[in-house]
Structure 1
């Protein structure tokens, strides 16, 4: 029978983090620093930075899988740790941006915060495509948190058979989240107010 003690040791932490992160992000997403009297300029330089971080994360994830398939365990471990660090950096920047800027409406060409009939007609069904990608990106970004943590803990505990089983689920979901993060940015960026 396999020793699951390291996983059991971290189970409460994994559950707590998997709940706390989405809840805190949801709360902070609704907090605007200007509402508390802070005269803070929107951090408009962050979306392209965190979109780039998503792109780099996707490349790092692919490189990490290639490394382990080529028997380079230490390189794989370092790349996966780097991918986690990139995801944390993304999250911090994403929250910081949304605490300083109003939400952008897809299709709002004149940047007035209102999607009128003319603007809506111009984007047409592309708006639906955008929301499908955005919603799946958000839902899977929540689901990926425990999967990454469990995968990482199993690797730390050298439970490589169990790590490999969950990593086969974790990898495509994390890759999807990273890639769609870039796609969402590219689709919404024309509507950012400068």
Structure 2
């Protein structure tokens, strides 16, 4: 018998606390458990017509949640591997990935601010969100109505363009780490 989505939602919501406890025990976070549960409920509603036996609905949904937990850990592992790979690539390129010493942050931001403003608006906004404000690429992509992959590619191009413009604007000091930059003191314009 075909089940209507509102009937399915009501039935699954009656077990909501048990489902959330099941997920929280596996992912270790109430917030992540809630996210997985919400996504699972959406997926269940999309596939409501697949449930043939009403007696097996709960078991079917638990299996859906188990698969969601596996996907969750795969995604986290993928992100971690991507970040580790990016860090290794940056280190191999010889870029400085350590935090700037205390007191140098304003100088760095002062140098970058004017140059970032000369980039394409989308590039500048993405750089500000991700590199200067610490927002994730995914969150910035969503805010800018881009796909995460497109945002990553755009961010790469924006960084490359920024590097070239900094080298033009600041000269030799930009070819190093910009920590001894004196372009704020110069007025070449």
TM-score greater than 0.5 by the shorter chain? no
Larger helix share, 1 or 2: 1
- The TM-score, its normalising length taken from structure 1, stands at 0.29
Relative contact order (C-alpha < 8 Å, sep 6+): which is higher? 1
- The TM-score, its normalising length taken from structure 2, stands at 0.30
